[in-house]
């Protein structure tokens, strides 16, 4: 089922980060809105970013254009969730 | 056991698992980076099939693994021809391995099959992320990419992860091994999938 609410999107983003980066359940569960991502998580290099974006597309049924990808949307867990929610819930 | 097979374009290596008699399952790994991420997982599934009395073969295709053909010279049509030359009544494939799954078979089984157009889109993203001409270290010819764009998997029993909303004959819990930045394994999921493959083959064999 595709997610239809903000919480579902947040959980999908959390699960994608956990699955792509190989994070423990506890580490992924500890992500809060202000948790820094790109530059703060050593696992999240540019190739891993490509995997995160593609898996988000698949799970949320969205398309992310390359010109929409910037440092800002990857800065924090909250920013990435906001970006994904804006796409998935419109 | 390491063995080899011949196809019209040459000879390649393959790994064999399981008993000498009975139906044989030929397995296809995904293309490129995802092959590295799923190899241990696939081998665990094939060992699981062996312990359930089912034999299998995991061939290197031309341009893949130990093949003498340079990766830049790999072509989808040649890989499909080689795969079709590996004897076996059944096939299983993960992700874009479904695009390699050719030949006359009694049945096909695909885990999260990926259409060629989706793969090419993903490769383009990976290439841009690497800021290089190669695709995360993989050299892929433009001809190969053109072949891939139009490639679609043949009809099969389709199994997907619960996180994947697309149509499936069976959905299973688990994380996508093919996405993992560092290769890992999932013994529980591999055993679950070996159970499903074994039951499916028993049903096909009647």
Report the pLDDT averaged over residues B141-168: 95
Residue A71 has pLDDT above 90, yes or no: no
Report the pLDDT averaged over residues B47-60: 97
Mind listing the pLDDT tens digit for each residue in B98-110?
999 999 999 999 9
Q: What is the ipTM of this complex?
A: 0.84
For A1, B86, B152, the CA distances from B142, given in Å and listed in that order, are 36, 27, 18
Spatial contact of A55 and A62, defined as CB atoms under 8 Å apart: no
Residue B34 has pLDDT above 80, yes or no: yes
Give the pLDDT score at B19: 95
Mind listing the pLDDT tens digit for each residue in A40-53?
999 898 889 999 99
Q: Select from B129, B164, B165 the Cβ nearest to the Cβ of A50.
A: B129
Q: For an interface test with A, which of B112, B125, B182 has the most A Cβ atoms less than 10 Å from its Cβ?
A: B125
Spatial contact of B110 and B156, defined as CB atoms under 8 Å apart: yes
Give the pLDDT score at B186: 95
Closest CA to B28 of B16, B40, B39: B39
DSSP H or E run through B2: strand B2-7
Give the pLDDT score at B46: 98
Sketch the domain layout of chain A as residue ranges. 6-88
Closest CA to B176 of A77, A34, A52, A46: A52
Domain span holding position B105: 2-115+154-201
Give the pLDDT score at A75: 95
Q: Answer yes or no: is B169 within a domain.
A: yes
Rounded CA-CA distance B28/B65 in Å is 12
Q: Answer yes or no: is B136 within a domain.
A: no
Per-chain mean pLDDT for chain B: 94
Query: For residue B85, what is the domain's CATH number?
Result: 3.40.50.1820
Q: Under an 8 A CB cutoff, do A47 and B130 touch? A: yes
For A6-88, give the CATH class: mainly alpha
Residue A4 has pLDDT above 70, yes or no: no
Give percent helix, percent strand, percent coil of chain B, each to the nearest 5.
Answer: 40, 20, 40
Report the pLDDT averaged over residues B32-51: 96
Spatial contact of B97 and B30, defined as CB atoms under 8 Å apart: yes
Give the pLDDT score at A2: 59
Weakest mean pLDDT among B79-83, B125-129, B157-161, B170-174:
B125-129
Rounded CA-CA distance B7/B79 in Å is 10
Residue given tokens 């992700």 in the structure block: B95
CB contact set of B121 (below 8 Å; sequence gap of 6+): none
**Residues of A in Cβ contact (< 8 Å) with B180:** 19-20, 22
How buried is A40 (Cβ within 10 angstroms: 0-12 exposed, 13-18 middle, 19+ buried)?
Answer: exposed
Give the pLDDT score at B135: 81
Q: For an interface test with B, which of A51, A63, A74, A88 has the most B Cβ atoms less than 10 Å from its Cβ?
A: A51
What dihedral do alpha carbons B65, B66, B72, B73 form, nearest 10°? -120
Q: Under an 8 A CB cutoff, do A50 and B122 touch? A: yes
The shortest C-alpha distance from A63 to chain B (Å) reads 11
Q: Which of 22-81 (A) contact B at CB < 8 A?
A: 22, 43, 45-51, 53-55, 58-59, 61, 66
Rounded CA-CA distance B14/B79 in Å is 14
User: Which residues is B170 bridged to in the sheet?
Assistant: B159
CB contact set of A40 (below 8 Å; sequence gap of 6+): none
Per-chain mean pLDDT for chain A: 91
Spatial contact of B90 and B104, defined as CB atoms under 8 Å apart: no
- Orientation of helix A77-88 relative to helix A46-60, angle to 10°: 40
Distance from chain centroid for Cα B29:
3
């Amino acid at each position: 089922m595709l997610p239809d609410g903000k919480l579902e999107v947040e959980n999908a983003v959390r699960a994608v980060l956990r699955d792509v980066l190989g994070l423990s359940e506890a580490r992924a569960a500890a992500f809060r809105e202000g948790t820094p991502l790109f530059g703060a998580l050593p696992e999240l290099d540019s190739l891993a970013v490509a995997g995160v974006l593609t898996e988000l597309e698949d799970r949320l049924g969205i398309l992310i254009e390359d010109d929409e990808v910037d440092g800002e949307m990857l800065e924090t867990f909250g920013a990435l969730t906001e970006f994904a929610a804006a796409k998935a819930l419109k | 056991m390491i063995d080899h097979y011949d196809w019209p374009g040459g000879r390649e290596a393959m790994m064999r698992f399981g008993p000498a008699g009975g139906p044989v399952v030929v397995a296809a790994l995904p293309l490129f980076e995802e092959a590295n991420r799923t190899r241990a997982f696939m081998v665990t599934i094939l060992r699981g099939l062996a312990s359930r009395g089912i034999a299998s073969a995991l061939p290197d295709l031309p341009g893949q693994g130990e093949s003498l053909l340079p990766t830049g010279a790999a072509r989808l049509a040649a890989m499909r021809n080689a795969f079709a030359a590996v004897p076996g009544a059944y096939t299983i494939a993960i992700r874009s391995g479904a695009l390699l799954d050719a030949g006359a078979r009694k049945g096909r089984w695909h885990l999260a099959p990926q259409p060629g157009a989706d793969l090419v889109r993903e490769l383009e993203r990976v290439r841009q992320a690497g800021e290089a001409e190669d695709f995360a270290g993989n050299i892929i010819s433009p001809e190969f990419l053109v072949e891939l764009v139009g490639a679609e998997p043949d009809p099969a029993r389709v199994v997907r992860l619960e996180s994947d909303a697309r149509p499936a004959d069976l959905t299973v819990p688990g994380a996508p091994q093919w996405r993992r930045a560092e290769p890992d394994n999932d013994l529980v999921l591999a055993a679950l999938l070996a159970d499903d493959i074994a039951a499916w083959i028993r049903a096909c064999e009647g």
